[in-house]
Amino acid sequence: PAIISQDIEEETEILPKIHINGTGENSGIKKWKQVLIQLESLYQLYQVSKDGGSLALNPQKFKEFDGKEITWSEFEGTAKDREMTTYAASIHIINTLKENTMKAINLFQLKVIETKYSEEEADIIVTTTHASKGLEWDHVQVCNDFIQLEIAPNDTSKWAGGTTVCLRTGMTRKKWEFASKNFGDELNLLYVACTRAKKILSVPRYIKKLLVEADAMHSSLSQFENEVRNGNEPCIEKIGMPSTFSEAKIGSITDAFGLYDDIVSGIRSENKVAAGQQLSELFFNADKNDGGRDQDHARNEETNKVHKLKVKNESNLIPAPN
């Protein structure tokens, strides 16, 4: 066991009581023990690389790297390019804490892993999304470890290509997709996480922004089509292009509908959103029969308050902000 320094012992006095939800090999305490082992190995790589060196990671624990010597920068790049979400938490923690990484590991080991507070004793309950299925809490904070749902045009994406024809205008257009190949799985996990709250739900700003702006684009293009059907000549400048989609560089109505069909419609279809329903309503204001939310009291808060429950992506265990 690691030697706990005096300053760590002093910091334990101000930490909240944390309970880890879940059982089994890939959840709960056992999952977090695996994360701590991974963190220690990667922190060694980080330290060696700071001095210009490289390190061969244990091939049994890091099979993707075949025991080859690599630097921290090479490890980061490979993990990102190949979407190795298993390592996302460790990379985030080490890049954030830097030289304090081992201190944080020791503190977590002492005050969470070894102390084992019960759910009734705890100030905060940490859970993966999968382990939270079927459970509800009054206050839920969704952590910022879901993959950033960036949008990539087909001509810069290594797993897409070609063009297609816009069914509305008949013009050839680019195809668009999320930079993440697994965005459908990410959205499904996000829905489960968001529907665990009965009273207060707090989500990362970028998640709310994506869903709210997708609703804005859906509304704008619906109004555009209505204007056309009524014989009017609507102007594309009146279409509210969400800043989330700024990389799309919309220049025509064909471009706008292309982005809508490939991205916004994809999100709505993935979550079976009805024609007159908004995504933000589905995720942040579901009723009791659709995900366990209380429609009369549920509300979204973008604050950093400490809530009773912090829901995490199954593959990315990242400490939530206090």
Rounded CA separation 214/151 (Å): 12
Partners of 261 in the β-ladder: none
Backbone Cα Rg of the chain: 23
Alpha carbons 194 and 123: distance in angstroms, whole number: 20
φ and ψ at residue 71, rounded to 5 degrees: -100, 170
Q: What angle do CA 112, 4, 127 make, to 5 degrees?
A: 15
Vertex 284: Cα angle to 281 and 287 (nearest 5): 75
In one letter, which amino acid is 139? H
- Is residue 321 within 8 A of residue 304, CB to CB? The reply is yes
Looking at this protein, which amino acid is placed at residue 313? Answer: N
* Sole residue written with tokens 């002093």: 10
Q: What are phi and psi of 176, to 5 degrees?
A: -125, 150
CA distances, 161 to each of 157, 174, 224 (Å): 7, 9, 29
Per-residue model confidence as pLDDT tens for the chain (322 residues): 333 344 444 555 578 899 999 887 778 898 889 889 999 999 999 999 998 999 999 999 999 999 999 999 999 999 988 878 788 889 989 999 999 999 999 999 988 999 989 999 999 999 988 899 899 999 999 887 666 666 655 444 433 456 788 877 788 877 777 766 677 777 788 888 888 988 888 888 878 888 888 888 888 788 777 777 777 766 655 555 555 555 555 567 777 788 788 888 878 887 788 888 888 888 876 443 333 333 333 333 333 333 334 444 433 333 333 3
pTM: 0.69
- pLDDT at site 157: 40
Assess contact for 142 and 202: CB atoms under 8 A: yes
Amino acid in the structure at residue 300: N
Residue 182: strand, helix, or coil:
coil
CA 97 – CA 267 distance, rounded (Å): 34
Q: Which residues have CB under 8 Å from 162's CB, separation 6+? A: 154, 175
